[in-house]
Chains A and B, each alone.
Chain A
Amino acid sequence: MDYLDKLEAHSIYIFREAYREFKHLAMLWSIGKDSTVLLHLARKAFFGHVPFPLIHIDTSFKIPEMIEYRNKLAKELKLNLIVGQNREALRTKQTFPDGNVDRITCCKLLKTEALKNTLSGQFTRYKYDHELGVLVEDPNKEAYTGVIVGVRADEEGSRSKERYFSPRDKNSDWDIGDQPPELWNQFKTEFAPKTHVRIHPLLDWTELNIWEYIDRENIPVVSLYFDNGTGKRYRSLGCWPCTFPIESTAKNVKEIIEELKSGKLKNIAERSGRAQDIDGGGTLEELRREGYM
């Protein structure tokens, strides 16, 4: 087994542990490259099936291609897609693009709050109806107790300190100074009422590993990652008002791998196109302590 085989096998192990131990399990799905790999791994773990819902937190400011791609994939793979949104904040225009709050507050409202309340069932969940081809209200209001998230340790400092199974308290807060032990292939699978556990199958993967795996497995990804002739491409996908493409002429997966290996992107952090990271003093720790992924 080479190192990609081992990374894959370990991620599959984590998926299967999560599936056995958490009755109310869901997976966050952001359409990006990591989420796409996550979905592929889930299908490998469960022999072509995805036996839990995928939750997409829709800020309403996602790049339109992302939503198109999301719906197409949900249809093709018959995914159980759940969409969550902070409709109140959108209605009252408490957003950065509307000019009423700063970037960090916008992130907190449209992502962290939306995520927390969608997981707990406080906010209405919308479910993709495969017959009608539209989102309909989901009658299920039960809280999810296990949430699979595709964060990687190489993305930024606080993620480099994560556990594979990482508990969140009643308010979705992360007690980063006192994380429970995690030994060998034994994870935190017991939890107190009203708390939940974040599960991170991609923690040991690097950005390069992700692209190498996409290449090896021939996984389709949204075309925003490639230069389509403008000399720019996205390296990380988010909301359009706060995500900017990087200068790059990589037109396909192989060229992205070359670019990453060549060190051309060394002077740019992966999330440098994500403005909220910079506003937060260069650290996501604060956002993540409060429940952000």
Chain B
Amino acid sequence: MKERMNIVVVGHVDHGKSTLIGRLLADTDSLPKGKLEQVKRTCELNAKPFEYAFLLDALVDEQTQGITIDTARIFFKTKKREYIIIDAPGHIEFLKNMISGAARAEAAILLIDANEGIAENSKRHAYMLSLLGIKQIVVAINKMDLVNYDENKFYQIKNEYLEFLKTIGINPIEFVPVSAFNGLNLIEHAPEMSWYKGKTILELIDSFEKEKEDEEKNFRMFVQGVYKFTEGGDDRRIIAGTVNSGTINVGDEVIFLPSGKKSTVKTIEIFGKESPLFAVAEQAIGLTLTTQIYVKAGDLMCRTDQQLPYTTNRFRANIFWMGKNNLNIRKKYKLKIGTNKVGLNIETIESVLDASTLERITNREEVHRHEVAQIIFKTDKNISFDLFNNIKTTGRFVIVDEYDIAGGGIIVEALEEKETITAPDYSEFEKELYNLVKKYFPHWEIKPIY
């Protein structure tokens, strides 16, 4: 079966990320014919030295400044599969772009300039990869030409960097000495570094493994919407969503959280498919239920025969902050987890970390841009989630400040619910019905619902 994989290339500014990708494209004959010559000619015309990076740094500002500003998607194919290679910027100013790119990746190549050695963002980027849960990492020590292909220099950097990676829980697949500009050890083994016996970059890319789809895990699906399109006499009331994890079958009893309403799956709806009997992780589907219960976007749908997620209004999380304004303990934010949105408050900022020095700071009331922090959050209403380590897609969230996503995080621990302010959500119909019953049938002594 044909597959596609996303790989991100990260590392400190100017360490050669774009050059590595550009050279890889050139040497595998992946560029449109004439493209390389065209870039070379443009460089000549502008009296600038030729850069492979110009093949990717397409923006006018990127070319004039010789820097990558925003992440690019590069399409690349080997005999084994299709790739989107994500070229991330290395400058600290564009960390939010690097994270946006890395969050889409399943594996990463981390570049270090052999001459400059381990730099601030070599560490910070590695930390971000570990926080994002990217486990397959190859480290390329680049610009080996500048250090005379010296084996000792390579091992010195490798050992120093391994030490750091160990502290943040990263166990790289391989360290490769390369010269991106000269195309050494990218596709074939370079005689200049015959002491290196491991795989080349291209071989390593093809050896990354596709992440297993979460089909075996507990079933989870965030409801994206409940549709009733009446046109053409369509009377289905369809609950739409993309399966986060696990498998769902026609006939399964399901529960919607946090409300706790239950029903049974009547049909699975996929346009163009005749009555499918089950659906698995990553499929975009619709469902109809045997009973008409009030369900809404943001609910987390689960199976009653499986372990349920946590439902509470407090949790501990590790977050990274990318906002223009600092994250402030007294300010109110919006949390988006799956398709659920809820008001977010900060209970305690337990610690703040400089992701490159790993210096830990306590007693802070703010988290600054580019910092990482461990925080106890409290939401306005109960929410349902899993721990990131169990199910990734239901254990991570973003923080919205005004109009923009300003932070992202992963949930490490569910905490006990405090002063639940939540009233369960009732539909207008349920509220009206309640009022009618209370008014006309007071002797029923119906329990107040709000």
Q: Chain A: residues with CB nearer than 8 A to chain B?
A: 1-9, 12-13, 16-17, 19-20, 43-49, 51, 78, 153-154, 156-158, 160-161, 163, 176-177, 179-186, 188, 190-192, 203-204, 206, 217, 266-269, 282-283, 285
B238 interface hit (Cβ, 8 Å): yes
Chain A residues near B61 (CB-CB < 8 A)? 176-177
Chain A residues near B103 (CB-CB < 8 A)? 182-184
B393 interface hit (Cβ, 8 Å): yes
Q: Are B224 and A46 in contact (CB under 8 A)?
A: no
B100 interface hit (Cβ, 8 Å): yes
Chain B residues near A267 (CB-CB < 8 A)? 32-34
Count: A-B pairs, CB below 8 Å: 167
Chain B residues near A282 (CB-CB < 8 A)? 38
What is the distance, in angstroms, from A265's C-beta to the closest C-beta of chain B?
9
Interface majority SS (helix, strand, loop, mixed), chain A: loop
Q: Are A45 and B404 in contact (CB under 8 A)?
A: no
Give the interface size class of chain B: 35 or more
B282 interface hit (Cβ, 8 Å): yes
B213 interface hit (Cβ, 8 Å): yes
What is the distance, in angstroms, from B208's C-beta to the closest C-beta of chain A?
15
Given contacts A157-B58, A181-B408, contact A45 B284 (CB under 8 A): yes
Find B393's partner among A5, A20, A184, A285 (CB 8 Å cutoff).
A184
Q: Which of B3, B74, B224 has the most CB of A within 10 A?
A: B224
Chain A residues near B406 (CB-CB < 8 A)? 181
Given contacts A266-B33, A267-B32, contact A47 B236 (CB under 8 A): yes
B179 interface hit (Cβ, 8 Å): no
Contact indicator per residue, chain B 396-416, by CB within 8 Å of chain A (1) or not (0) = 111010111110100000000
Taken together as a complex, chains A and B put the C-alpha atoms of A154 and B284 apart, in Å, by: 24
Taken together as a complex, chains A and B put the C-alpha atoms of A253 and B86 apart, in Å, by: 30
A-B contact sample (8 more), CB < 8 A, given A17-B224, A161-B70: A1-B280, A7-B4, A8-B284, A13-B224, A47-B227, A179-B97, A183-B100, A267-B34
Q: Are A1 and B213 in contact (CB under 8 A)?
A: yes
18 sampled A-B residue pairs with Cβ under 8 A: A7-B4, A13-B284, A45-B271, A46-B227, A47-B227, A47-B238, A48-B271, A156-B58, A161-B71, A177-B69, A181-B99, A181-B408, A183-B398, A184-B396, A184-B398, A191-B403, A203-B73, A217-B272
What is the distance, in angstroms, from A182's C-beta to the closest C-beta of chain B?
5
What is the distance, in angstroms, from A88's C-beta to the closest C-beta of chain B?
31
Find A9's partner among B72, B283, B403 (CB 8 Å cutoff).
B283
Find A285's partner among B60, B73, B402 (CB 8 Å cutoff).
B60
Chain A residues near B1 (CB-CB < 8 A)? 2
Taken together as a complex, chains A and B put the C-alpha atoms of A15 and B402 apart, in Å, by: 23
Find A20's partner among B4, B213, B225 (CB 8 Å cutoff).
B225
Taken together as a complex, chains A and B put the C-alpha atoms of A7 and B240 apart, in Å, by: 17
